[in-house]
Structure 1
């Protein structure tokens, strides 16, 4: 039976906040400002304003304050159409936002457009058939690759998601066909519209979470808003006071406050010390005295293994990204390190964000990387402290 998951969505004067809660506690947290919505995934009909051959890039007007930045050779897979011809100023092209505008810089754009679904990611401008990294079993990978090729039928590219393993093949095929037809409709609309024009906005964060988790969890939504669709899942529409009670009952604010601090106490004893820097994040495991094992040689391994589930939760909740170095308690054998590696892979398998565990360095640190998709929890909820020359941070009031 799938595990239970609650998506609790409340609206404040400043933002819409969505908490992802499982039996292990608060797993993910999202905050969408009422003033500025994320544009990542949005598809625009843009107009090329200026081509910069020296840096192989172009500025594209998409209707925002700043023109978007488009690397001209940003995707070798973009080859199906005549779009590979040199770009010209004044040319209208379809682009998708990869990164939001930030710090006075325009949005980062791509022509290698991707349409996400629950079971696959459809790429209309290439024929690449790929698989989610979460599909690890070789037989499952072979079967998923065959399914992807059969569905695409040399018409488009497709990345088969892990959720497709739990669905009927026809459901996967039907969804891909819907995505393909949506793309055909977008292309037809673009032919008679005037650039710049927004053609498709990325769904709300709640819709994305439901799409990505529905195959693996029994989802219940708690919201002050009515169910906007006919989605076949439990949906509780709460009054504002009942929402605040539910939010408080799940200790969401308390867990958020804990996730901003450096130190996390572990239930079995010991603690994690998490430091976030611009270049990288570090996690240090401190041993505890409450862990009971059969022999002294097994104690470091046992403490490390017990720390991993909470460590994985903190990485997702804090949205750590980039390079992450983990200093485990010293282990004596390669076999023990392999056990820790396997446990890390398993604990991070459910992460929606692309995560790669690279292994132990020569200094004995576990090195991993996690894709940057949005601001960290710390960056979202705090600002540099002016009283201490920005060496510390304070909560946003």
Structure 2
């Protein structure tokens, strides 16, 4: 059985959740105090503008701005209240994407109150089991509600599943009542945050929970994050894959010049490339238009095998990756829905070359203050003026939290000659 873990870290100013497969970092979910999650929230939103020429409706979500594609059945009017679910996080000044197709998620099943029909996880493969689930759904679930059955250890326990579906339907009825009795905009169900999202997505996983980066050190997660922020990735055999996140697309370039067995084991080459590119797309949370520049090899079966493996990995791992095919210039066109910031955008912002963003560095300083300064009389941070300003202003509330835990005030000394990524912590009495 594959060894899978969810590792949760609570630190001043942020919550980080990592999923590991056989010890390797597979996915990251991060929420910061400066940017709370809205994804997954259900909101009684207020329509602020209807732009028919754009086919879009803009809404006030209370804690963020949202937009949705113009509904096909009817067009809401300005000032109207609309019940929506937030599908994606705001990004680069753009509003969060929302939908009127609500999903209420459970551990064993999800329900879609505004849709009909049912679906069963593709991971449940036995025909007899799928047939039994279908019969159960037809007999026990109202035809007016859509249902999806997940693949879990309890997917055959129909008593447990029915209880959860009934609870979710009751939750929906209460939501309808709240919508009628509350004004807008109002958040009716808050976002589950990174922890809730990861636990619901990866059911039956081994969970480890800690504070201040200790578990991330134990599982070498910070090291793996740093590696994932690099452009180049080396794979078995010596080939390199280069990832470039551009404004309009993601470019994936493949260099097989150093791949020692490219000619003698071409199918192995395709397999290695498909596995690593899929892994990196999921880990880096790459989305939108992705163009893969695959090597021009004589045997066309090699690239066909590459595409087949990429589709297979996407299906097996429940990742919404759409492989459209080859362009006239020989590039493989792939798209993936965007639901949040990429790993690079979270940790590096607009910095080039994998340098950590100022906020990321500030949060690292706060973690280290808690881990390294207990017993230190007067903890002091020596850093650039820019980093000091970030910690004292943007992360001010988190700094107060750290000082309270330490029972002493943290002081700062500016080092104008220090690069923004450099800092050190010392005892002011020994300076």
Interval of TM-score (by shorter of Structure 1 and Structure 2)? 0.7 to 0.9
**Aligned mate of 2:334, from 344, 368, 372:** 368
**Residue 375 of structure 1: SS of its match in structure 2?**
coil
Structure 2 CA distance for partners of 1:169 and 1:345, relative to 1, 3 Å: farther
**Aligned mate of 1:306, from 272, 291, 309:** 272
2:227 corresponds in structure 1 to 258
Within a 5 Å distance, the mapping from 1:178-197 to structure 2 comes to: 178-197=167-186
Question: How many residues align structurally?
Answer: 356
Once the two structures are superposed, residues 71-115 of structure 1 have per-residue CA deviations (whole angstroms, 9 ceiling, x without a partner) of 441xx5xxxxxxx56534544332222333455554433222122
Gapped regions of structure 2 (runs ≥ 5): 359-431
Once the two structures are superposed, residues 164-214 of structure 1 have per-residue CA deviations (whole angstroms, 9 ceiling, x without a partner) of 697216144433322212111211233323333211012131222122212
Within a 5 Å distance, the mapping from 1:99-138 to structure 2 comes to: 99-102=88-91, 106-130=95-119, 134=122
**Aligned mate of 1:357, from 323, 332, 337:** 323
1:395 corresponds in structure 2 to 356
**Residue 6 of structure 1: SS of its match in structure 2?**
strand
CA distance in 2, matches of 1:56, 1:371: 19
**Aligned mate of 2:207, from 220, 231, 255:** 220
CA distance in 2, matches of 1:363, 1:149: 49
Backbone CA RMSD of aligned residues: 3.4
**Residue 282 of structure 1: SS of its match in structure 2?**
strand
> How far 1:29 moved relative to its partner?
1.4
1:227 corresponds in structure 2 to none
Tell me if structure 2 keeps the 8 A contact 1:319–1:377.
yes
CA distance in 1, matches of 2:251, 2:309: 18
CA distance in 2, matches of 1:130, 1:185: 25
CA distance in 2, matches of 1:302, 1:330: 16
CA distance in 2, matches of 1:358, 1:141: 33
Q: State the TM-score, normalized to the length of structure 1.
A: 0.76
1:45 corresponds in structure 2 to 44
CA distance in 1, matches of 2:91, 2:309: 37
Pair 1:95 & 2:55 matched: no
- Name the structure, 1 or 2, with higher relative contact order (CA <8 Å, separation 6+): 2
The structure number with the bigger radius of gyration is 2
Tell me if structure 2 keeps the 8 A contact 1:285–1:304.
no
**Aligned mate of 2:155, from 159, 162, 167:** 167
**Aligned mate of 2:345, from 379, 382, 388:** 379
1:229 corresponds in structure 2 to none
Structure 2 CA distance for partners of 1:95 and 1:289, relative to 1, 3 Å: closer
CA distance in 1, matches of 2:311, 2:124: 10
Pair 1:343 & 2:309 matched: yes
Tell me if structure 2 keeps the 8 A contact 1:304–1:329.
no
Gapped regions of structure 1 (runs ≥ 5): 77-83, 225-239, 386-390
2:241 corresponds in structure 1 to 272
CA distance in 1, matches of 2:224, 2:263: 34
CA distance in 2, matches of 1:330, 1:103: 36
1:31 corresponds in structure 2 to 30
Structure 2 CA distance for partners of 1:364 and 1:118, relative to 1, 3 Å: farther
CA distance in 2, matches of 1:394, 1:275: 15
Once the two structures are superposed, residues 92-139 of structure 1 have per-residue CA deviations (whole angstroms, 9 ceiling, x without a partner) of 33222233345555443322212223444321112244566x569796
CA distance in 1, matches of 2:183, 2:282: 41
**Residue 292 of structure 2: SS of its match in structure 1?**
strand
Q: State the TM-score, normalized to the length of structure 2.
A: 0.71
> How far 1:51 moved relative to its partner?
4.8
CA distance in 1, matches of 2:75, 2:283: 43
